[in-house]
Amino acid sequence: MLALLPLILPLFLLIAAGYAATFTKVFDAAAARALSAFVFYFAIPIMLFRSMASMDPPGSGTSGLLVTFYGAMLAVLALGAISMRLVFTTSWREAAMLGFAGAYGNTVMIGIPVVLTVLGEAAGLPLFLIISLHSVVMFTTVTLVMETTGGAGASLRELPLQIAKGVFANPIIIGLVLGLALNHLGWPLPAVVDGFAALVGQAAIPCALFATGAALRQFSIGSALPKAALLVVIKGIVHPALVFALCLYVLSLPPLWAAVAVVLAATPVGVNPYLFAVRYGTAEGATATAIALSTPFSIFSITVALWALGAV
């Protein structure tokens, strides 16, 4: 397992560098927001567009991959909610929000750089298949749950339009769809466009990790530490362990596809659960604390996941 650390640690050192930079005068909150905007709206979408435009179409294992990953994710959401309800006697609304945090990983800002760096470009296809549905599946699920338990957001009648707006306004989804469309038509990228996209893509991974570290500055460890600690265990241990078991012992996915699913499951809590918690006015402290704790913990969870996959 120690042999994997030289692959993993440089990535997390970039995250640490981004966090440390926010304490300097040259990289303030405005600079951190600008870098995050560059990564989310330009670098990663362009990188995904180029990758999907030149990639071989998915094979017959697509459905197995998606069933495995999202079946495990929904199971972890339910398990997290029930655990929070039983251990801390929270309301079902708060428990559902915490379950969402325990199942929703940072698949873009950490998942993409880690998977492509450690597993190589061949991992791009299963990676992007999962990411293309990540927000759709989870945002739909948590919105339905929160609205049916007395949420304060949009009504259920507005939910389809709300989800559609969120999906089609997402630059990452746009990049994926445009790349797939070009691929399906069989049109090669012009040399100039390909060179431009390749250059931008080279900036995507280091900038994404640096921006992730800078974003951690806004999430401090608060009073909801016990709940957050349980979330870290659910997200960093239970979630990847369940995906690992399903990939290798139930559906027997190809090794590379299984590796992508397990590594993505081992990523830390993403920022979207915190945004949903603020929107619905519940579990804000616990979700923010879980983000701050689970990100450094993911060094351990991702390394163990890769070691376990290699051992099998």
Mean pLDDT score, 168-178: 80
Mean pLDDT score, 175-199: 89
The mean pLDDT of the chain is: 87
Higher pLDDT, 293 or 64: 293
- CATH code of 151's domain: 1.20.1530.20
Higher pLDDT, 164 or 85: 85
Q: At what angle do helices 159-168 and 124-148 cross, to 10 degrees?
A: 150
Enclosing domain of residue 305:
2-311
pLDDT tens-place string over residues 56-108: 766 556 888 999 999 999 999 999 999 999 999 889 899 999 999 999 999 98
pLDDT tens-place string over residues 264-278: 999 999 998 998 888
Quote the CA–CA distance of 204 and 241 in Å, as a whole number: 29
Is a pLDDT exceeding 80 seen at residue 26?
yes
Mean pLDDT score, 247-263: 90
Question: What's the number of domains the chain is made of?
Answer: 1
Predicted pLDDT of residue 252? 81
pLDDT band of residue 162 (cuts 50, 70, 90) is low
Quote the CA–CA distance of 129 and 260 in Å, as a whole number: 10
Is a pLDDT exceeding 90 seen at residue 128?
no
